[in-house]
Amino acid sequence: MKTNKIDKVLIAMDYDETSIKVAEVGFSMAQTMNAETILLHVISEQPVYYSSYTYMRELQVDVMGDLKVATQHFLNKAKAKLGSESIKTVLKEGEVADTILKTAKEMNVDLIVMGSHSRKWLENIILGSEAQDVLKSTTIPLYIVPTRKHIE
């Protein structure tokens, strides 16, 4: 049986407090396989709308520059916490699941690692699940790290 070597691991991170746990698990796997590690954060731009009695239009809010700087700082802190200068960080904009899949293909990664917040079924219906959307569409192996907070 032929096995595929894992050379690149893409770790998708969000701003959830459990994201570093996902990064630690993914980085540990990458180290075990002597694979390159890539931390990815996707900024999903949500337009802000302004309405008045006579019209409704999209407001052009110039926060993207600050958001990109803050997100890159977040990725750099995660990289420092993992303790390896060899980790690459990538910041992209777009719809989260599609951008993760597109980036994985562009960078020719062999494994995608992401977290699942394990929300209740109603929250998943309303909010959606990025991990579920990636799982439905990927041809690249996907490792999902459960991050649900346990009540003690």
Q: Is residue 1 part of a domain?
A: no
Question: What string of pLDDT tens digits covers the 152 residues of the chain?
Answer: 666 789 999 999 988 888 999 999 999 999 999 999 999 999 986 544 444 444 555 545 556 677 888 899 999 999 999 999 999 999 999 999 999 999 999 999 999 999 886 655 544 444 457 888 898 889 999 998 988 764 44
**Contacts for 76 with CB less than 8 Å, ≥ 6 apart:** 89
Domain of residue 90, residue span:
8-146
Into how many domains does the chain fold?
1
**Three-class secondary structure assignment of 84-149:** CCCCEEEEEECCHHHHHHHHHHHCCCCEEEEEECCCCHHHHHHHCCHHHHHHHHCCCCEEEEECCC
Separation CA 42–CA 100 (nearest Å) = 7
Task: Give the pTM.
Answer: 0.79
CATH number of the domain residue 105 falls in: 3.40.50.620
